[in-house]
Amino acid sequence: MTAARRQRKLCSVLPIPRCAIVLAAVLSAGLALAEPIRALITERIVTDPVSGLAISGFDPVAYFTDRAALPGKGTFEQVVAGAPWRFRNPGNQAAFAADPEVYMPRFGGYDPVGIARGVAVAGNPQLWLISGERLYLFYTPEARSQFAGDPERMIDAAEQQWPAVRRQLVP
């Protein structure tokens, strides 16, 4: 719900003077909460906008060990690169802790096909591919197919565009 919509809804059920007081309290609390939430959104890692979890809570190690997109568990969580990551078991968590760059999706989970075009598009953790021992997430099945047709060319194009695309992301 947008801030304007929340304001209209809130003011429709409260008398005007009381509405202004409550609205001021809600806005100041929202502003106070914005910083911790913003800290979870980094320029390098795609996080779920609701939960703040990296790659929507999917276990990044499971792509390699189980060859599947599997959700992590809240009991196995670790913050790396400013975002909380979840894992299916303590072994996966330990493997990630030992070398997170190996398991993190390349380009922070942004679709490499979009990056090659100069656009940051969050990848879907269920649309993935491992190429050159690195994990890539894609926005659409078509983007994944395009990447799979010539991964080296797509990676080279994305690497060239990544610095400019990364500068456009919210720090």
97 and 110 both lie in a single domain: no
- So what's the pLDDT on residue 27? 38
- So what's the pLDDT on residue 147? 98
| Domain final residue pick, 103, 121, 141 | 103
36 and 47 both lie in a single domain: no
121 and 169 both lie in a single domain: yes
89 and 147 both lie in a single domain: no
pLDDT tens per residue across span 146-158: 999 999 999 999 9
**Position 89 pLDDT exceeds 60:** yes
80 and 61 both lie in a single domain: yes
Number of domains in the chain: 3
Domain range enclosing 14: 3-40
Please give the average per-residue pLDDT across 132-139, as a whole number.
97
In sign, the C-alpha dihedral spanning 68, 80, 170, 105 is negative
Percent of the residues in the chain that have a pLDDT greater than 70, as a whole number? 74
Q: pTM of the predicted model, to two decimals? A: 0.74
| Domain final residue pick, 103, 128, 153 | 103
- So what's the pLDDT on residue 167? 87
- So what's the pLDDT on residue 28? 41
Please give the average per-residue pLDDT across 124-151, as a whole number.
97
Q: How confident is the model at residue 168 (pLDDT cuts 50, 70, 90)?
A: confident
88 and 149 both lie in a single domain: no
- So what's the pLDDT on residue 44? 78
pLDDT tens per residue across span 24-78: 443 344 433 333 333 333 357 999 999 999 999 999 999 999 999 999 999 999 9
